[in-house]
Amino acid sequence: MPSQLIGWTMTPTPVSYEVATAFMAARVEAIAAGTACELIWLLEHPPLYTAGTSAKWDHLLDRERLPVFRSGRGGQFTYHGPGQRVVYLMLDVRARFGDVRAYVAALEHWIIETLAELGIAAQRRQGRIGVWVTEKASPDQPAKIAAIGVRLRRWISSHGVSLNVTPDLAHFAGIVPCGLNEPVTSLARLGKPVPLSEVDAALHRTFSRRLGPVHIFPGDAQHENIQDVQGKAAEA
- List active site positions: 178
SS3 label, residue 118 = coil
Q: With the CA atoms of 48, 218, 203 and 161 taken in that order, what torsion angle do they form, in degrees rounded to the nearest 10?
A: 30
- Tell me the CA distances in angstroms from 87 to 91, 156, 165, one per residue in order: 12, 15, 13
Q: Are strands 131-135 and 122-123 parallel, antiparallel or unpaired?
A: antiparallel
What is the distance, to the nearest Å, from the Cα of residue 4 to the centroid of all Cα atoms in its chain? Answer: 22
Beta strands in the chain (DSSP E): 6-10, 38-43, 48-51, 68-70, 77-80, 84-90, 122-123, 131-135, 138-153, 156-164, 215-216
Q: d(Cα 86, Cα 67) in Å, to the nearest integer? A: 17
Q: Which amino acid is at 6?
A: I
Within 10 angstroms of residue 61's Cβ, the number of other Cβ atoms is 12
Is 192 in contact with 164 (CB distance < 8 Å)? no
